[in-house]
Chain A
């Protein structure tokens, strides 16, 4: 129990130092550029693949339920709302936690066990500034964009399956447009910012805490993914509660079927 509390304290300090460097030293393009490429460009294929299949599976699952009550075109509202509000951000986050988070923890863990982090310190450089801040920024800035791509291909995938079942295109898109508000899009993108920040912080922290040897680095990468995944689910729940409360405060809630 003491170890967990100590880890939590260490993570808090790590986060504070990272945010402090990000606010003071935002424009280190030389360090940021390779991370933007790694997090953004290299993650795009896997995110597009995930997004398209989310939409297609949702369409395949929901079409027959709506078709049974003679409202097949309403499936567009359910598919697209699910993709934009929940499945797009969460599954994009999970995929990025696996692809980027694991790689970050393994990379930094290897740097730790090969004394590269000690070498940085001995050269008078701050490892958090050089290694963590650019990775944090890359995740924070690019995961929202990746989520938008994921949503986009999810919507297209869902429509492709619905179209193949013979759903009327006009009605499909009309119901979708009626159901989705700007606030829903905002909700999904905002959540993804938090997911990106926590994936980077957790993964870099696990990498910095990595133990010696291949097993230590492997464990750090696994823990980074598992902890990031759990953090995404927990954050998702609380952010949804908060954003729904904010929505209810300003606007009245209504059903998408009314």
Chain B
């Protein structure tokens, strides 16, 4: 039997739990990150904002080992995981729950089997215990009674909620949300935001939320940072973020492309109000 890698040791809220250290990533000629350094604090919800293609999802993939940086280090709970093999990464991944943008439910499995997947894979629990955990997790995301349904029978918001239930089934230390409200109507998006807050409160996990949705960012974030051209240009509490004088940040908040259509990149010089690392 594999060791239970999800058991929690005493942790101090606010300690760095994840660190990207001088990370560089390039896809062909396109440089996504150039010497990016970032720390994520334990027990807090960090929201990562930025335009499409800026590398927000790539950052989550670094943390979960789904992608490797070209240079630099990824440190999780003090352990350098940059060059771990696929098999060595498994115990690290079990510390994380990932909610994918399109939910990424396994379409050949029912809701129950999706949520039970990691439990069956890593813990030799009796099926009655698995059933009880699945029931509790589905209740937590307001999806009780849907165990027998297939993903194709669920709406977008329901899929996201089942994706969240699957992500938290193993009681992870850290939950990563990739665009949790993308493609949802405002009411369903708000329901997802409430679930994120509920999971944060009940599981006391560290959360990283990648989004474009400002309402969601203000609602769930303890800390908001914004990526622009591979660098962090803003980093602070929601109130500090709102007050950030950087034109690129203000335009992002207002959803304003600017008259030149380039996000105003030529107009701003060195106005970031707080830079990590």
Contacts and interface: CB of A to CB of B under 8 A. Distances in A.
Interface stretch (A115-123, A156-164, A211-219): A115-123
Contact of A124 (B102, B105, B121): B121
A244 interface: no
B208 to A, nearest CB: 13
Contacts of B122: 124
A114 B104 contact: yes
A181 interface: no
B252 interface: no
Interface string A115-143: 11011111111100000000000000000
B108 A34 contact: yes
A111 B107 CA distance: 9
B100 A115 contact: yes
Contacts of A126: 86
A115 B104 contact: yes
Given A115-B102, A118-B66, A119-B98, A125 B107 contact: no
B100 A119 contact: yes
A118 B93 contact: no
Contact of B93 (A34, A114, A116, A123): A123
A120 B66 CA distance: 11
A116 B66 CA distance: 12
Given A124-B90, A124-B94, A119 B118 contact: no
Interface in B94-127: 94, 96, 98, 100-102, 104-108, 117-118, 121-122
Contacts of B118: 123-125
A122 B64 contact: yes
- Residue among A121, A124, A125 facing the most chain B CB atoms (10 A cut-off): A124
B73 to A, nearest CB: 20
Nearest to B67: A118
A96 to B, nearest CB: 20
Give the secondary structure class of A's interface. Answer: helix
B6 to A, nearest CB: 10
A123 B86 CA distance: 12
Give the secondary structure class of B's interface. Answer: mixed
B90 A115 contact: no
B28 to A, nearest CB: 13
B98 A116 contact: no
Contacts of A119: 98, 100, 104-106
Interface string A195-228: 0000000000000000000000000000000000
Contact of B66 (A111, A114, A122, A124): A122
Interface string B70-96: 000000000000000010001101101
B100 A118 contact: yes
Contacts of B66: 118, 121-122
A239 B97 CA distance: 48
Contacts of B98: 119, 122
Contacts of A111: 106-107
Nearest to A125: B121
Nearest to B2: A124
A122 B86 CA distance: 10
A120 B117 CA distance: 9
A121 B93 contact: yes
Contacts of B94: 124
Which 6 A-B pairs have CB atoms at the shortest separation, nearest pair first?
A: A119-B104, A115-B104, A122-B98, A124-B90, A123-B118, A124-B93
Interface of A: 34, 111, 114-116, 118-126
Interface of B: 61, 64-66, 86, 90-91, 93-94, 96, 98, 100-102, 104-108, 117-118, 121-122, 166
28 contacts: A111-B106, A114-B102, A114-B107, A115-B100, A115-B101, A116-B105, A116-B106, A119-B98, A119-B100, A119-B104, A119-B105, A119-B106, A121-B64, A121-B66, A121-B86, A121-B93, A122-B93, A122-B98, A123-B117, A123-B118, A123-B121, A123-B166, A124-B90, A124-B118, A124-B121, A124-B122, A125-B121, A126-B86
Given A115-B104, A118-B66, 10 more contacts: A34-B108, A111-B107, A114-B107, A116-B105, A119-B106, A120-B106, A122-B66, A123-B118, A124-B118, A125-B117
